[in-house]
Structure 1
Amino acid sequence: MRADRLVSLVLLLRQRGRLTADTLARELEVSTRTVLRDIEALSAAGVPVYAERGRHGGFSLLPGFRTELTGLNHDEALALLTAGSGRGDQVFGLGSALASAMRKVVDALPDSHRVTVSDVSQRFLVEPETDLLSRRPVTEKVPDTTMIEIRRAVLTGHKLGIHYAATDRTPQWRTVDPIGLVTVRDRGYLLATRSGADRTYRLSRVLAAEELPEPAQRPDRADLDRVWRERCARFLSGDHMAVLVRVRPERREDLLSTAVAVRAEEPGADGWLRLEVTFQDLRHAEWALWQLGTDAEALTPRSLRTSLRDRAAAMAGRYRDPP
């Protein structure tokens, strides 16, 4: 790990010029003392890094020094940098690794390309933290120690012990055979089997994890895209409520953000959209449609219309002017 950190330190100095020890410590997520020891190690190894004292001082490399990392053309590096400009720190706990990789990608380019590709961070913005309505995404955090154990078991093919908190149940330890990891709309899932049966676990509900020494019972190769599609199909075929909704076009995304799935969609003669969506149950459907107010109308089932009507009547009665 220290070797990777030393490479990252050199790349930071190459790409940003003079940096203070405090800045380097923040970027590398280590202490200032560790940075100073690394600087000494680089100097002893012949890397031309030197210190400039004073108020605006810091550490720099001699002009013209560069490491040799080859094999990427301009468009390949551009694609990687664009992908990495999103909220990559939320993907399976790989934030630090992604930042280090991006520095190496930039340094691998010829001088003629480096300036234009580095401009990606200023010109391309992928999945910002808020949208035009100032809504922040719901971010699900998984402790780094837990994520490391899960990642390691998935990659080594070992069994995995997880302390899992299923909905409305007491957390329990269980042993699973990990197949792979999937992320969808900032939500992470562990695909696994347990006693031969397919299981899908929400990463945010894993309270702790431990890689076990026993080999996992799983195929040598996995088509995660196919496995995920099959599990989604089984999930949607379960006991869900189908709802026919009439909604204003500008509120379509708000509706879809709360629904489990969309089964059909078509424009209506009145300029509104008609969608057949599914919700977990009546309570979920009522809550989702209530958020949209008069911008949406549940056409079926009747039980949902009755529930929304009764709720609206109760709300109107609560706010009726006092006598």
Structure 2
Amino acid sequence: MRASRLVTLLLLLQNRGRMTAQQLAEELEVSVRTVYRDVEALGAAGIPLYGAAGHAGGYRLVDGYRTRLTGLTANEAQAAFLAALPGAAADLGLGEALATAQLKLRAALPAQLREQAGRIRERFLLDAPGWYSDADRTPHLAQVAAAVWEGRATVLRYRRWRAPEEIERRVEPYGLVLKAGRWYLVAGGPSGIRTYRVDQILGLRPLEEFAVPDGFDLATYWNGYVADFRARLQTGEALVRLTPEGARRLGVTPASEGWTEARVPIELIDHAHGEFLRLGTDIEVVAPAELRDRIAATVRTLAARYGD
């Protein structure tokens, strides 16, 4: 633990230049007295740092003492910091490790690249969950991630939407995916590769180690899974008429003037019914008849309810 703290102290001084004992103590979450001891230990190890008293005092490294990471372009350095997902790392129990890794990387960069990397952190933020939903509770995420990382087969207790709702299944975890604020486990099993929502995992028990099949690529699998999912959802089509505002909201190219007639893909009738009602008077459903009748019935019910 102390060795890790000494490295972090050194990297802080490399990144920020002069820092007081109080500032270092706050960053390291230790006492000022501990900082004094750590500084003495670094000095005894041959690290060229010195301290100065007074209002402008503090600790700093001798000018020129810096490990440089060669070979990185400005774009590569920026991408390294832009790609890091603090929220996801924290979910996986790696928040502290990510912060330390970024600190090490930043300390090793030349001054110009270090400044650009810092600007990335200041000006870009990823907030994955949607506006109208909170991130799912995933109490078993860290255990699932450990099984993925260690390559260990696992018995899952899982809740699904169809009967039987609770099942137990042996799987081989291949990878984790974060999609729109929701975590998914991609795993092999008796029926092939399947995708599981991590928030629906009720418990798990680690088993023996396994090897991921040769040639399996998580990104390739996930892209195919998403494409198949969308294809299965949008199996129908509706003929609609849209006002200019309705066309804009539905992402349809509007006609030069007046109403626009368009064919749009739909999922189930129930889902399309709810989605089209959101457009209010900016849409008229022409076909299919079942969907038009459902919306007409809803409108009549609303008219009767608000008629008074």
TM-score by shorter chain over 0.5: yes
Query: Percent of counterpart pairs with the same letter?
Result: 28
Please state how far the C-alpha of 1:215 moved relative to its aligned partner. Answer: 2.0
The CA deviation at 1:37 is 4.8
Q: Where does structure 2 lack aligned partners over 5 or more consecutive residues?
A: none
Q: What is the alpha-carbon root mean square deviation over aligned residues?
A: 3.9
Change (3 A) 1:129 1:158: closer
Q: How does 1:120-139 map to 2 (within 5 A)?
A: 120-122=120-122, 124-128=123-127, 135=131, 138-139=134-135
- Whether the aligned pair in 2 keeps the contact of 1:241 and 1:282 (CA below 8 Å) is no
| Residue 251 of structure 1: aligned partner | 249
User: Is the radius of gyration larger for structure 1 or structure 2?
Assistant: 2
1:149/1:210 contact within 8 Å kept: no
Q: Which letter does structure 2 place at the counterpart of 1:286?
A: H
Task: Assess, with a 3 A threshold, how the Cα gap between structure 1 residues 318 and 42 changes in structure 2: closer, same or farther.
Answer: farther
* Change in CA separation of 1:240 and 1:129 when aligned onto 2, cut-off 3 Å: closer
**Aligned partners of 2:202, 2:33: CA distance in 1, in Å?**
36
Query: Equivalents in 1 of 2:118, 2:126: separation in Å?
Result: 18
Amino acid at match of 1:320: G
What SS does structure 2 have at the residue aligned with 1:192? strand
Distance 1:306 1:152, change over 3 A: same
> Residue 203 of structure 1 corresponds to which residue in structure 2?
198
Q: What is residue 40 of structure 1 aligned with on the other side? A: 37
Deviation at 1:41, TM superposition (A): 4.1
Structure 1 pair 208–272 and aligned structure 2 pair: CA distance change class (3 A): farther
> Does the Cα contact within 8 Å between 1:179 and 1:193 map onto a contact in 2?
yes
Q: Which residue of 2 aligns with 1:318?
A: 305
Give the aligned residue type for 1:109: L
Q: Which amino acid aligns with 2:23?
A: T
Please give the alpha-carbon distance, in whole angstroms, between the structure 2 residues aligned to 1:317 and 1:227.
Answer: 50
- 2:83 partner SS: helix
Alignment of 1:87-102 (within 5 A): 87-90=85-88, 93=92, 94-102=94-102
1:163 aligns with one of 140, 157, 171 = 157
The alpha-carbon deviation at position 187 of structure 1 amounts to: 2.6
User: What CA distance in whole angstroms lies between the structure 1 residues aligned with 2:168 and 2:51?
Assistant: 53
Q: How far 1:128 moved relative to its partner?
A: 4.9
Q: 1:290 is matched with which residue?
A: 277
Report the Cα distance in structure 2 between the residues aligned to 1:230 and 1:286, rounded to whole angstroms: 28
> Partner amino acid for 1:192?
A
Number of aligned positions between the proteins? 292
> Structure 2 vs 1, CA of residues 32 and 183 (structure 1 numbering), >3 Å: closer, same or farther?
same
Q: CA deviation at 1:249?
A: 4.5
- Partner of 1:191, secondary structure, is strand
Q: TM-score, normalised by structure 2?
A: 0.74
CA distance in 2, matches of 1:6, 1:275: 64
Alpha-carbon deviation of 1:192?
Answer: 1.2
